[in-house]
Structure 1
Amino acid sequence: MTSQIASRRHLLLLGLPALAVVCLFVMLPYGEIVLMSFRTPSTTAAYGPGFTVDNYAKILSDPLYLKLLLDTLWQASISTIFCLILGFPVAFHLGRTQSRWRGLLYAMVLSPLLTGVVIRCFGWIVLLSNTGVVNELLSQFGLGPYKLMYNRIGVVIALVHVFLPFMILPIMNSVQNIDPRFEEAARTMGASKTSVFRHVLLPLTMPGIQSGAILVFALAASAYVIPILLGGGQVQTMTTVMVQQLTGSLLWPFGTAMALVLAAGMALTIIVFVFLMRQNMRSLK
C-alpha cells in the first residue's frame, strides 16, 4: 500500500511540469481573456474602470452580431461538409490500399500543409478572379465570367482546400485500425458489399469522421486570413469583425467578448454534432 502511494506521488511529481506549462500558457491567458471581456470599453486605454456585462448584452441582443455569428457557423459547417465529401473517399483509399504509390499519395495529401495559408490564398486569387484561369477557361466555352471571389463561394473553396488534410488524416487513421477480419466475417455470413460498408466499415470509421469534422469546423470558424483575402472585405465573419474591434477600434473588452461568444457558439454546435453522431451510430448498428 505504501509503495502504491509513493508511486502515485512520483507520477504526480512527473506531471507537475506539464501542469505548470498548461496553467501558465493556456489557463492563465484564457482567464485574462474572460476577465477582459467583462471590463468597460475605453478609447484611451485597453479598458476602463469597473466591470460590466454590457459587452455580452450588446452582442446577444443586436441582430447584426447574431447574424454574423450564425453566418460564421454556417460557413464553417458548409466547409466541413465539403471536406467530408471530398476527403472520405481519399482517406478510405489511402487507408486500404497496398499500392506502391501509397507513399506518393500520402505525400500529396500532406503537401498543401508545406505551403503557407497566405500563399495558397493568393493562388486561389489567381485562379478565381474575374480574369483568372477558371473564368478564362470557361470563356473558351462561351460561359462566364462568374463571380467566384469576394463572396462566400471563394471563401468556402479556399477553406476546403486549406483544411482538407485535417479531415483526411483522422479518417485514414480510423480506416487503418479496422481489423480486416470484421469485413471477412460479414462477407462470410452473406452480407453484400453495401451492407458491409454501411453496418461494419462506416460505424468503425465514425470516430475518425467525428474527429476530422470537429477539427475542420473549429479551424474554419476561427479562420481569419482566408475570409480577409478571398472575401475582400465583402465577406464578414465573427473573426474578422473581432480582429477589427481589437486592432482597429482598440475595443479590447468588446473584442474578447465576441471571441468568447464565438467559442460558445462553436462548442454548442460541436455538442449537437456529437449527439447526432451518437444517434446515427445507434441507427447503423
Structure 2
Amino acid sequence: MKTRLLLGLPAVALLLLFFVLPYVEMVAMSFRAPASGLPFGEGHTLLHYQRALGDTLYLGALGRSLLMGGVVTLLCLLLSFPLALHLSRTQGRWHVVFFACIVSPLLIGVLVRNFGWMLLLTVDGPANRWLLAAGLIERPLRVLFTPGLVVLALVHVFTPFMVLPIATALRNISPALREASTSLGAGRFETFWRVTLPLAFPGVQAGVVLVFVLSVAAYVTPALLGGQGVALMPAIVVRELIGSFAWPFGAALAVVMAVATLSVVAVFTLLTQGLAERTRA
C-alpha cells in the first residue's frame, strides 16, 4: 500500500501544481480589488462578478461562445461518427493510413493552419478563383472574418478529438452482437440503431464533452479568422488580462466562462446518464 501511494505522489503533485493551483489562484484573483496603474489592489470585492453578470456585452459574448461550441460539437459529431465507424472496421496498413489522415490537422501548428485558411479563402485566393473559373459564382465570396469560417476551422481541427473516442468504443463492440441482431431478423439500419449506436455512446459522450470544452475555450482560431466581427468570451478575457491589464476582472470573466461551460457539460451528462447506464449494463 505504501509503495503504491509513493508511486502515485508524482502524479498527484503534477495535478496540484499544473491544474488545481492555477484555478485556485484564478478564483482568488477574481475577488481582488482593482487598482489604478497596477494589476490589482488591496482588499476583496464582488464588483467584478456584478459587472460580468450584469453587462449585456459580456453575457452576449458568453452566449455566442456557448452557441458556437454547441454548433461545432454537433457538426463534429455528425462528421466523426461515419469516420470512426470506418476507422474501427479498417485493418492493416489502410488503418494506419486512415488514422494518419484523421489526426493530420493536429500535426500542423495552429498559426500555420489558420494562415493557410486565410490564404485559401481570401477574396483573390485559390478557392474564389476556382469557383469563378467554374462559373459557380459571379463575384468573389467574402468568407474571412465571419462566424462560419471560425466554425469550419474549429470543426477541422477538433474532429480527431471526436473520432478517436468513438472509434475506440466501436472497436470494443463484439461482432457477435451484430451477428445475433442480424440472425434475429434485424436489418442493417435497425442493427445500427439498436446495437451499434447505443454501445458506442460512451465514446460519443466523451467526444462531445471534450470537443465542446475545447471549442468554447478556443482563442487563436476565432481571433485570427473571426477578427473584430466575432466577439467571443476567450478574446475578451485575454483583452482584459493583457490589453487592459485588469487581472481581477479578467479572472472573473474566466471563472464565469468556466462555470457556464461546466454547467452545460453537467446538464448534458445528467440528461444522458440513463443511456450511459444502459450501455454499461
**1:273 and 1:148 mapped to 2: Cα distance?**
32
**2:237 and 2:130 mapped to 1: Cα distance?**
38
- The one-character-per-residue Cα deviations of 1:88-109 (angstroms, maximum 9, x if unpaired) are 1111101012364221111111
Tell me which amino acid in the other structure corresponds to 1:266. Answer: T
Give the alignment's Cα RMSD to 1 decimal: 1.8
- The one-character-per-residue Cα deviations of 1:181-207 (angstroms, maximum 9, x if unpaired) are 111111111111111100100011111
Question: What are the residue-to-residue correspondences of 1:32-111 with 2, within 5 Å?
Answer: 32-98=25-91, 100-111=93-104
Counterpart secondary structure, 2:272: helix
Structure 1 unaligned spans of 5+? 1-6
Residue aligning to 1:3: none
From 176, 181, 187, give the equivalent of 2:176.
181
Instruction: Single out whichever of 134-143 and 149-158 deviates more from structure 2.
Output: 134-143
**1:90 and 1:191 mapped to 2: Cα distance?**
24
**2:25 and 2:227 mapped to 1: Cα distance?**
32
The yes-or-no answer on 1:216 pairing with 2:211 is yes
Residue aligning to 2:149: 154
The yes-or-no answer on 1:15 pairing with 2:8 is yes
Counterpart secondary structure, 2:142: coil
Aligned residues: 278
Residue aligning to 1:4: none
In structure 2, relative to structure 1, the CA distance for the partners of 1:100 and 1:12 (3 Å cut) is closer
Instruction: Single out whichever of 39-48 and 112-121 deviates more from structure 2.
Output: 39-48
* Counterpart contact for 2:34–2:41, Cα < 8 Å: yes
* Counterpart contact for 2:202–2:276, Cα < 8 Å: no
Structure 2 unaligned spans of 5+? none
From 20, 27, 37, give the equivalent of 1:27.
20
Distance apart, 1:226 and its partner CA: 0.2
In structure 2, relative to structure 1, the CA distance for the partners of 1:147 and 1:210 (3 Å cut) is same
Counterpart secondary structure, 1:28: helix
Per the normalisation by structure 1, the TM-score is 0.92
**1:216 and 1:238 mapped to 2: Cα distance?**
17
In structure 2, relative to structure 1, the CA distance for the partners of 1:92 and 1:142 (3 Å cut) is closer
**1:232 and 1:132 mapped to 2: Cα distance?**
18
Counterpart secondary structure, 2:200: helix
From 92, 98, 106, give the equivalent of 1:113.
106
**2:209 and 2:36 mapped to 1: Cα distance?**
37
**2:273 and 2:22 mapped to 1: Cα distance?**
33
Distance apart, 1:271 and its partner CA: 1.4
Instruction: Single out whichever of 238-247 and 129-138 deviates more from structure 2.
Output: 129-138
* Counterpart contact for 2:73–2:211, Cα < 8 Å: yes
* Counterpart contact for 2:170–2:200, Cα < 8 Å: yes
**2:7 and 2:65 mapped to 1: Cα distance?**
41
Instruction: Single out whichever of 115-124 and 24-33 deviates more from structure 2.
Output: 24-33
- The one-character-per-residue Cα deviations of 1:118-138 (angstroms, maximum 9, x if unpaired) are 111011111222222222222
Tell me which amino acid in the other structure corresponds to 1:139. Answer: L
* Counterpart contact for 1:94–1:102, Cα < 8 Å: yes
Tell me which amino acid in the other structure corresponds to 1:44. Answer: G
Instruction: Single out whichever of 272-281 and 140-149 deviates more from structure 2.
Output: 272-281
Tell me which amino acid in the other structure corresponds to 1:32. Answer: E
**1:282 and 1:24 mapped to 2: Cα distance?**
34
**1:25 and 1:123 mapped to 2: Cα distance?**
32
Distance apart, 1:12 and its partner CA: 2.3
In structure 2, relative to structure 1, the CA distance for the partners of 1:142 and 1:191 (3 Å cut) is closer
**1:10 and 1:100 mapped to 2: Cα distance?**
42
Per the normalisation by structure 2, the TM-score is 0.93
Counterpart secondary structure, 2:124: coil
4+ aligned runs moved over 4 Å, structure 1: 279-285
Distance apart, 1:283 and its partner CA: 9.7
**1:100 and 1:21 mapped to 2: Cα distance?**
37
From 143, 168, 192, give the equivalent of 1:197.
192
